[in-house]
Structure 1
Amino acid sequence: MAPRAIRSKVKSGCQTCKTRKVKCDEGKPVCFRCYSTGRVCEGYGVWGGGGNHYGRRPIGSGRKSLTCFYTPTLVKAVNKEETRYLEWFTYRSVLKLPGVFSFEFWDKLIFQAASSEPAVLHSILALSSAHRTEGLCFDTSLDVAPDKQEHFTLEHYTKAITHLQPHFTSRSNQSIRVALITCLMFVVMEYLRGHFKTGYNHLQNGLKLLNEFQARSSAIDSYSLFQEPCCDSADAWIIQAFIRLDEDCSSDIPATPLKFQSPNQARQHLDRILSQIFYLSHECRHQVRPLDKLDPQSLPSRQQRLRAKLDSWYDAFKESKASLVPSKIGHSTVAYIILRIYYMIAEIMVDTCIRPEDQMRYDTHTKSFKIIMDQLNYIRSLSLSPPLATVFHFSDTSSSITDLGAIPALYYIALKCRVRSIRRDTIGFLLTTTHKEGIWCSHLAARIIEEVINIEEGDFYADSNTAKAVLPESHRLHDIEVQLPDGYDGTAVLQCKRRFDDSNWEVITRELVYDTKTQRWVSKFER
């Protein structure tokens, strides 16, 4: 009888592969051999990993992105170290960064593009490294030093730019698609690194390129971002991704359907209405001609049309509740609440937009501000609940996202609601939430709010007779604007105006810098 073959003992790999005595690919947090066969990866002992929730895709997405990730072309294009960052991007970044409104750009297109375009591949590696750098702040067990991590980020950032050069020369539609996808990765990467100005510049360059792309491509008109499910169009997904990062969009609002088919479709329509409200508000604040010299009927009529659009949206939203919110708590549950919050904010904005000088009008919306705060606190409790904790939080990465979340809503409430208890609740919320939402950084937003409150209130409430008094118009700030810093060594500039009783205006400026010792944003003169 022939001697029995002796298998060598498996010394490395996950516990599941060791038990099965098969070669493990040692993927983190779960190996692909276990994932692809439906097994639970038991991890790597003291080195962590394992479990079956890491590979869970967002609701509504399939496994195409994971399949694309492991295509032979993509695997052959990277070395072992780069593979680890691709795995991080697949199991962490793609799950986390889009927030609760994930769509095909993240779930499909980005992996397909990376499989054939080196510029996209290297931009993904740079973004993954920047995202993992945030994880270093939350998990000291990670074995990569920050300076080495930064070197990896900059190395692949440079390579991505180098590989983009032929596409800029070509100027074909395909090349412009590659440039736009890569540009989006740059925007997200810079926002994660706190380089808000650089990220914003990338975004503006991408929008200029997108405008040129739409002008050069007659077929783009046939793609609608407001069809659900989205047509199988890379162009539509790219446009949708840019619109979500761009808050200044004044294009026409399409007709609202009687019923939304998904949270994404409801979100896209609400985004357009909000953009129109922003645009009208901006016009009223920055008109070259004084408001009293404008056609007195034009502004109210535009305001009324926006109210009607908002009412139509809410009717469709209510009609869609049964299909938008499943019985099981998940991403769609949170998405539905976020949509309702921003609908209520849109209601306040459309009511106040044509008379920006009347800050007292916001007091009539105190009930809405309270409801919004209750809803935001409910989202926070949901995100920590067992059904969603493993989806929203990873122990070794931040909770930063690139999309709409709680921070813009909290910021708006704090600036426009002058009820002291509600304002201070927003600061407490932001200080216990260490993450970013696009350009919105929670701790910087909290510090700006504190500065605004200090300027507005001053010593007004020091007297016991005014403890419960309403803050008068002469104390309230107008035209609050913030110039974001380009990194933690930069300066955030807060500028605002206040009107005295004699109708003269006071311009107020504050500068904030980051104190590395306290890890807080402080007034420049305090440093």
Structure 2
Amino acid sequence: MAPGTSKTKVKTGCRTCKIRKVKCDESFPSCKRCLSTGRICEGYGIWGGGTRSNPTSSISPHTKSLEKVIFAPTPIKTATKEESRYLEWFTHRSAFKLPGIFRLELWDKLVFQAASTEPAVRHAILALGSAHKREGRANISAPGSALDKEEHFTLQHYSKAITHLQPHFSARDNSSIRVGLLTCLIFVIMELIRGHWKTAIAHLQSGLKLLDEFQARSSEVDGYSLFLEPCHASVDSWIIQAFIRLDVQTKLMGQNSHSLNMIHEDCNSEIPIHNLTFQSVHEARQHLDRLLGQILYLSHEYRSQVGYQVKINLQRFLIRQRRIEAKLGSWYQAYKNLKAVLAAEKISTTTIAFTILYLYYLMAGIMVDTCLRPADQLRYDIHTTSFLLMMEQLKLLRYLTSSAPLDKELHLPNMTNTISDLGAFPALFCVAIKCRVSWIRHDAVGFLKNLAHNEGIWNGPLIASIADEVVRIEEGSFYEGSSAVEQASFYGASNKLDVLQPTLPESHRMHDVKIELPEDYAGTVTLKCTRVLEDHSQEVITREFVYNESARRWVVKDGDT
């Protein structure tokens, strides 16, 4: 190799230098290397840098820190006092509460910098702030009823944000695509808060499709995949991480969403299995998201081929399954090493993060083991210990989030506990519908019934009602006369695995549980369950749920039994 040359992949610097794969001097607002050669400097992120600024302007000593330069606090101009109030709510409530424990710099920095220069983003966060403020007091609106003040404000700025997006849709350059992705992400979360599930999923699918196009372009131009580099600190990776989280969260509920090509790329790439290390809980979370995405993709692909009666190369699927299991084992070792370094004696948000990570690691282990056995529900019985460990983590999570050190930090006054990220619901739902040890699953259902908040697409009261109904359908009268459910309690349950209880037969168990969400609370939720009976015929059971506003819960429609 000649002196002064390097094969190191260019990951920092302005967009132009990265495309050219040359060393950038990272001057701000415009790279001197680009200016000296007459090139256009595309800047350092979505809105950072560019050749319109004076290249001879003085540069602060602090500009070597890219994040400080790009995301320096910039006042966000508002037109009215009303806008200022909702902006304040978003800044001090929504942006703090909605991301949950695993905060992305997208929430702390990017949205504010974007809102200061891009009207589409500014109006989107105003709409989100007003929807979030209204959430705890929202009721089902009767057809033709007048909109309240906050809902009117939400719709007004929602419309303005869409209007300001039109030029970006026409431009289709990288900067415009980033504006579109960030605004789309805000729209998804806003619609989930409003309880408009179908619209939220439609926005998510649009964003994922656009992200796929953007990813394909980045891979072609830059020669690398942002998604495959979890440590890459760029606005692109922040946006990608946010979309991946929403995509995984939606797929865990079984909702159809666009299959990311980058997930397919990840499944077929050689990711190191051994000597994996994490520098932070965020990096551990991103790796786990990737593994969950791979498991969901493998399950989807296998089920699709079975459904279309395609001749299946089972060995190919088994090899992929074993690779994911090996990567999951490597993840857990790296997780334990990180926890040994970062775990503190005092309770903190990091304690909660480690608890959530371990909870979803346990769930991922069950998912990968059973993903190629959709009709074999007896397979779940070998995972009873994992289900118990999941319940232990869930109980610990409840204790931690309500503990004195974190109560004021996590639970702001005058607002709900809604977050946009994963929390307890997917894991609780998994235990309730897949663990057939009756006293464990009933404990999970009871836990669900005491949670009234939302986690993205996961609505607490709805999931509790669905889980309760699935358990009721599966068990029926099978345990009548058995005292196991009453005698066994979760507390000290590790000593009660030997409680004598009949095993629920395969013919009682659902191998497919599908939830069809409505547009909003005024609609009907449809639950479809499928099981194979003793004569090998399939039984499809359907239930419909409607929202009872006075009771604030979802109930089975009259006539369904």
**Residue 65 (structure 1) shift:** 11
What is the letter of the counterpart of residue 251 of structure 1? E
What amino acid is aligned across from residue 209 of structure 1 in structure 2?
Answer: L
Specify whether residues 316 and 488 from structure 1 end up closer, same or farther in structure 2 by C-alpha distance, changes over 3 A only.
same
Q: For the structure 1 residues 389 and 146, does the alpha-carbon distance in structure 2 shift closer, same or farther, using more than 3 Å as the test?
A: farther
Q: Partners of 1:132 and 1:206 in 2: how far apart?
A: 25
Q: Which residue of 2 aligns with 1:387?
A: 405
In structure 2, what is the equivalent of residue 224 of structure 1?
Answer: 226
> Residue 489 of structure 1: CA displacement?
0.4
Residue identity matched to 1:147: D
Q: Distance in 2 between matches of 1:465 and 1:331?
A: 40
1:303-318 alignment to 2 at 5 Å? 303-318=321-336
Q: How much does 1:390 deviate?
A: 1.2
1:482 and 1:225 map into 2 onto residues whose CA distance is 30
- Equivalence for 2:351: 333
- Cα 1:398–1:419 shift into 2, 3 Å: same
> What is the identity, as a one-letter code, of the residue corresponding to 2:333?
D
- Could you tell me how far apart the structure 2 residues matched to 1:412 and 1:193 are? 25
Contact 1:196/1:485 (8 A) holds in 2: yes
What value does the CA root-mean-square deviation take over the aligned residues? 2.5
Distance 1:181 1:292, change over 3 A: closer
Conserved? CA contact 2:517–2:526, under 8 Å? yes
Pairing 1:479–2:496 present: no
Q: Is the 8 A contact 1:495 1:509 kept in 2?
A: yes
Name the aligned partner's letter for residue 266 of structure 2: D
Distance 1:492 1:314 in 2: 37
Aligned equivalent of 1:269, options 278, 284, 287? 287
Q: Are the aligned partners of 1:122 and 1:159 in contact in 2 as well (CA < 8 Å)?
A: yes
> Which residue of structure 2 aligns with residue 294 of structure 1?
312
With over 3 angstroms needed to count, the CA separation of the structure-2 counterparts of 1:63 and 1:436, relative to structure 1, is farther
1:286, distance to aligned residue in structure 2 (A): 3.0
Per-residue CA shift, 1:82-119, capped at 9, x if unaligned?
Answer: 11111111111111111111011111111110000011
Deviation at residue 287 of structure 1 after TM alignment: 1.9
Match of 2:101 in 1: 100
Q: Distance in 1 between matches of 2:272 and 2:157?
A: 43
CA contact (8 A) 1:250 1:279 kept: yes
Q: Does 1:523 align with 2:556?
A: yes
- Mapped to 2, the partners of 1:287 and 1:384 lie a distance apart of 45
The alpha carbon displacement at 1:280 in A equals 1.8
- Asked whether the 8 Å contact 2:215–2:225 carries over to 1, the reply is no
Answer whether contact 2:439 2:484 (CA < 8 A) is retained. Answer: no
In the TM superposition, residue 464 of structure 1 has moved relative to its aligned partner by: 4.4
* Residues 525 and 92 of structure 1, relative CA distance in 2, 3 Å threshold: same
| Distance in 1, Cα, partners of 2:71 & 2:403 | 27
CA distance in 2 between counterparts of 1:290 and 1:345 reads 28
CA offset digits 1:328-372 (Å, max 9, x no partner): 322211111111111111111111111121111111111111111
- The answer to whether the Cα contact below 8 Å between 2:306 and 2:312 also exists between their aligned partners in 1 is no
Instruction: Provide closer, same or farther for how the CA distance between residues 412 and 275 of structure 1 changes in structure 2, counting only shifts above 3 A.
Output: same
Aligned to 1:441: 459
Shift, 1:291, TM fit: 7.9
Q: Pick closer, same or farther for the CA change 1:282–1:269 going to 2, 3 Å.
A: same
Q: Is the 8 A contact 2:71 2:113 kept in 1?
A: no
Once the two structures are superposed, residues 219-270 of structure 1 have per-residue CA deviations (whole angstroms, 9 ceiling, x without a partner) of 5654635656542x22121111111111254431533563200111111111
> Runs of 5+ in structure 1 lacking a partner?
1-61, 139-144
- Indicate whether 1:251 and 2:265 are aligned: yes
**Deviation per CA, 1:316-338, whole angstroms, max 9, x where unpaired?**
11111133434432221111111
Secondary structure (helix, strand or coil) at the match of 2:132 reads helix
Q: Moved runs in structure 1, 4+ residues, more than 3 A?
A: 62-67, 135-138, 216-230, 248-251, 288-293, 463-467
Name the residue aligned to 1:170.
171
Q: Is the CA contact 2:106–2:239 (under 8 Å) kept in the aligned structure 1?
A: yes
Question: Which range moved further: 411-420 or 283-292?
Answer: 283-292
Residues 373-422 of structure 1, C-alpha deviations (whole Å, 9 max, x = no match):
01111111111111110121112111111111110100111110012222
**Larger mean Cα displacement after TM superposition, 210-219 or 102-111:** 210-219
Match among 344, 349, 370 for residue 362 of structure 2: 344
Partner of 1:403: 421
Q: Any conservation in 2 of the 1:491–1:512 contact (CA below 8 Å)? A: yes
Q: Is the contact between residue 261 and residue 320 of structure 1 (CA under 8 Å) also seen in structure 2?
A: yes
Q: Residues 224 and 236 of structure 1 are in contact (CA less than 8 Å); yes or no, is this contact kept in structure 2?
A: yes
Matched with 1:42 is none
Normalising to structure 2: TM-score of the pair?
A: 0.76
Q: Give the counterpart letter for 2:226 in structure 1.
A: S
**After the TM superposition, which residues 392-471 of structure 1 pair with which residues of structure 2 at under 5 Å, given as runs?**
392-464=410-482, 468-471=501-504
Amino acid in the other structure paired with 2:526: V
Contact kept in structure 2, 1:226 and 1:265, CA below 8 Å: no
Match of 1:495 in 2: 528
Q: Distance in 1 between matches of 2:370 and 2:221?
A: 39
Aligned partner of residue 525 in structure 2, secondary structure:
strand
Aligned residue identity for 1:311: G
Q: Which runs of 5+ in 2 are unaligned?
A: 1-66, 140-145, 249-258, 486-500
Distance 1:526 1:151, change over 3 A: farther
| Secondary structure of 2:354 counterpart | helix
CA contact (8 A) 1:97 1:400 kept: yes
Equivalents in 2 of 1:457, 1:173: separation in Å? 54
1:290 offset after TM fit, Å? 7.8
In structure 2, what is the Cα distance between the partners aligned to 1:251 and 1:263? 24
Amino acid at match of 1:224: L
TM-score (norm 1): 0.81
Q: How many residue pairs align between the two structures? A: 455
Superposition pairs of residues 145-164 of structure 1, within 5 angstroms? 147-164=148-165
Contact 1:184–1:203 under 8 Å retained in 2: yes
Percent identity between the two aligned chains: 55
The match for 1:323 among 307, 323, 341 is: 341
- Corresponding position: 1:236 with 2:237: yes
Contact 1:118/1:163, CA 8 A, preserved across alignment = yes
CA contact (8 A) 1:480 1:497 kept: yes
Q: 1:201-229: CA deviations, max 9, x gaps?
A: 00000111112222334456546356565
